[in-house]
């Protein structure tokens, strides 16, 4: 009987170890795709440097599948910010590593009274693949100039962040589209005439 108890005593820890290994294997977190890192160059952004930094931080705080970082090698960024005298315009993404996005931060929008950080964050939203929704409320970043100059919200709402996460959920595609669409944002209540 003592030999049976001794054998059972030796067997129990072995069984528990096996059970613990099985339990830990089942409770391991599921692998998630790697976060897509996009690099940007703001060397030609002039007075927009502060608004860009805040806009990038707002996006990095809101999304999980993509991260925006300044480039360490000039000329190799996935997209660039540059100060211009006209209206803001941006390449509509989603832009991926190796891309060639362009954010032109036009001074005319600031001259009309719009918040520079909101403009920078809104235009960055285009890089991440979000279209305009001018009829949306101030809480919606992509409503752009729609809510008027009193709106200074520069943070994406939950739905906008979720769409960006969806845009980058599969990681970096092996085949990238060759076309680029440019979104021109006229941050004004006036209708613009002419074609560009």
CA dist 188 and 36 (Å) reads 34
Annotated catalytic residue, options 69, 82, 112, 123: 123
CA torsion angle 87 93 94 95 (round to 10): -90
What gap in Å lies between CA 21 and CA 57, rounded to an integer? Answer: 41
- Strands (E) across the chain are located at 36-44, 66-70, 79-84, 89-92, 101-106, 181-184
> How many whole angstroms separate alpha carbon 93 and alpha carbon 97?
11
Closest listed residue to residue 41, CA positions, set 67, 86, 88, 75: 75
Catalytic residue at 123?
Answer: yes
DSSP string, 63-93: -SSEEEEE-SSTT--SEEEEEESS--EEEES
DSSP symbol at 46? G
Please give the positions annotated as active site: 123
């Amino acid at each position: 009987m003592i030999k049976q108890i001794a054998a059972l005593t030796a067997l129990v820890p072995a069984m528990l170890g096996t059970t613990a290994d099985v339990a830990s294997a089942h409770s391991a977190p599921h692998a998630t795709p790697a976060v897509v890192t996009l690099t940007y160059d703001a060397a030609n952004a002039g007075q927009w440097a502060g608004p860009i930094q805040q806009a990038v931080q707002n996006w990095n705080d809101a999304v999980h599948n993509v991260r925006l970082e300044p480039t360490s090698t000039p000329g190799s960024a996935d997209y660039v910010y540059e100060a211009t005298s006209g209206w803001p315009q941006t390449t509509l993404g989603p832009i991926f590593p190796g891309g060639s996005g362009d954010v032109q931060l036009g001074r005319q929008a600031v001259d009309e009274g719009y918040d520079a950080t909101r403009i920078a964050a809104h235009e960055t939203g285009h890089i991440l693949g979000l279209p305009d929704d001018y009829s949306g409320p101030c809480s919606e970043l992509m409503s752009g100039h729609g809510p008027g100059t009193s709106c200074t919200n520069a943070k994406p709402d939950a739905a906008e962040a979720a769409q960006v996460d969806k845009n980058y959920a599969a990681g970096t595609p092996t085949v990238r589209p060759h076309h680029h669409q440019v979104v021109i944002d006229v941050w004004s209540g006036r209708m613009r005439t002419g074609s560009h």
